[in-house]
Amino acid sequence: MWSVLWAAVRSKAPYVTFPVAFVVGLVGSQLEWFLRGDPPATAQDEKSISELREDRKLQEIAGEDLTKVCFFHGVNLEEGWT
């Protein structure tokens, strides 16, 4: 009797596993939502890391005179070769 039952369970396992896993996941998700409550509101105006880096780089060069380039690969453009 047990061998017939186990054979039936083995052959129908894919059809039984998905609904059971779905129900377990749904119950776990609802339980987690109930215990934690509503998620906190996220800040919409928060900048990404690349945006923060770009802003920092722009602030660094804001006070510089970009027309005067002093050194370029060992060449001092104001004095000639070094």
What are the tens digits of pLDDT across the range 59-75?
888 877 777 766 555 55
DSSP labels, 54-74? HHHHHHHHHTS-TT---EETT
pLDDT of 28 reads 94
pLDDT of residue 36: 87
48 located within any domain: no
Residue 30: which domain range? 2-38+57-81
**45 in helix, strand or coil?**
coil
9-44 per-position pLDDT tens digit:
888 888 888 888 999 999 999 999 889 887 776 666
Task: Tell me if 43 is assigned to some domain.
Answer: no
Q: Is residue 47 part of a domain?
A: no
The answer to pTM > 0.75 is no
In a domain, 26, yes or no: yes
**For the chain, how many structural domains are there in total?**
1
Q: Is residue 44 part of a domain?
A: no
Q: Is residue 34 part of a domain?
A: yes
> Is 51 inside any structural domain?
no
